Structure 1
């Protein structure tokens, strides 16, 4: 009987006041955000491992703080997709199809790493911003709140990284 109850509860429709069509559109946008966030996480972690030069210590620690923040963010975005009733993408293949952030080739200079991370942070902001029309139309305040928080983090991080190049 327990198996039947678990299966029955898994089959319950999502009824949170947002139509399935709107939830799907939002989840698709969030899937792109998840892919961008994970790709930026991976790129930042790669740069943390491979940075060299006179700013090594500063960048090594800064990149570590950034990839740790991104690791927490991917979970928040994936869980919001699940809350909307859709599966979250979770493979490199999925992320490669969905992400707007290119992978780094080779091991760039420290300055080029910073440039690429600024571009990545700003790409995540653009992706988050692109989801707002669907979120606003559906009156999906929890997703709007998540997007606003993510945009604030990424805009501030882009500013801080950009300041290193001044």
Structure 2
């Protein structure tokens, strides 16, 4: 049996040999770090709104927000673990998330409809961030990351649609 020729594409200085160059893995991990920051920021904002929503739609919004923040909590773990699988460290502080996130979390007390509007913007921001990582992962033939990104975009697009429908 002939030995496969080892090239720069199959070896990495950090000892990770998964068929993606170190440069590409780190570029993908950088994009995923932005996705993690956006996802964690959206988790935090959604959880805040779950706690603080008031008004005639309280029960339905309280439950909807709980469903969304629970899903986000699982998602941030999956994104962080993908970053680690690629050989990078996942950002894990409010400072780093604040630096990397593409949106800010409102600090003031908001009416229910304003909360919903902020959540629509947050859901859409996560989609845009995921979509921005897609070409980098696609060029590197990183199918696990592509699958993760596709699932995240699908879920956040659906959440944004459902939230927008409440504002119609």
TM-score between both structures, scaled by the size of structure 1: 0.92
Q: Give the equivalent residue in structure 1 for 2:37.
A: 35
Greater CA deviation, 31-40 or 97-106? 97-106
Offset of residue 73 of structure 1 = 0.2
Q: Give the equivalent residue in structure 1 for 2:90.
A: 88
Offset of residue 81 of structure 1 = 0.2
Q: Give the equivalent residue in structure 2 for 1:25.
A: 27
SS in 2 for 1:164: helix
Alpha carbon RMSD of aligned pairs, Å?
1.0
Distance in 2, matches of 1:59 and 1:109, equals 12
1:65-86 deviation line (CA, Å, top 9, x unaligned): 0000000000000000000000
Q: Give the equivalent residue in structure 2 for 1:76.
A: 78
Offset of residue 22 of structure 1 = 0.3
Distance in 2, matches of 1:12 and 1:42, equals 34
Distance in 1, matches of 2:124 and 2:113, equals 17
Offset of residue 141 of structure 1 = 0.4
Offset of residue 12 of structure 1 = 6.1
Distance in 1, matches of 2:90 and 2:100, equals 12
Offset of residue 104 of structure 1 = 0.9
Unaligned regions of 5+ residues in structure 2, if any? 1-12
Unaligned regions of 5+ residues in structure 1, if any? 1-10
Q: Give the equivalent residue in structure 2 for 1:162.
A: 164
1:57 to 56, 59, 63: 59
Q: Give the equivalent residue in structure 2 for 1:3.
A: none
Q: Give the equivalent residue in structure 2 for 1:128.
A: 130
1:67 to 69, 76, 92: 69
